[in-house]
Amino acid sequence: MNALSPRKSINLSLDAELVDEAQEFGIDLPEAVEEGLRKAVAVEKGRRWQEENRTAIESSNEYVRKHGLPLARYRQF
């Protein structure tokens, strides 16, 4: 996703006071909204990845609890 990505027009309602304040500060609203949306999507992707891989993560953690870290004897710190 970059500036060359296809754009999509949408209707969006935002808090009027917040929009006014952002405009006073010279904040580019479409850019700010897109960045916020990009972050929200990244957070949700991470949450879903963790959920989809929960069993494998728990299994790996259980192995480490029982047996320690693989290759731990080679650690130099």
Asked if 22 contacts 32 with a C-beta cutoff of 8 angstroms, the reply is yes
Q: Provide the number of structural domains found in the chain.
A: 1
7 domain residue, yes or no: no
76 domain residue, yes or no: no
**In Å, how far are 45, 46, 47, 65 from 59, measured between CA atoms?**
21, 19, 18, 10
24 domain residue, yes or no: yes
Q: Which residue range is the domain that position 43 belongs to?
A: 16-70
pLDDT in tens, 43-69: 999 999 999 999 999 999 999 999 999
Report pLDDT for 5: 86
46 domain residue, yes or no: yes
9 domain residue, yes or no: no
Distance CA 61, CA 69 (A): 10
pLDDT in tens, 8-37: 999 999 999 999 999 999 999 999 999 999
Full-prediction pTM beyond 0.95? no
Is it the case that residue 73 has pLDDT exceeding 90?
no
Report pLDDT for 77: 79
Nearest to 36 by CA among 71, 61, 12: 12
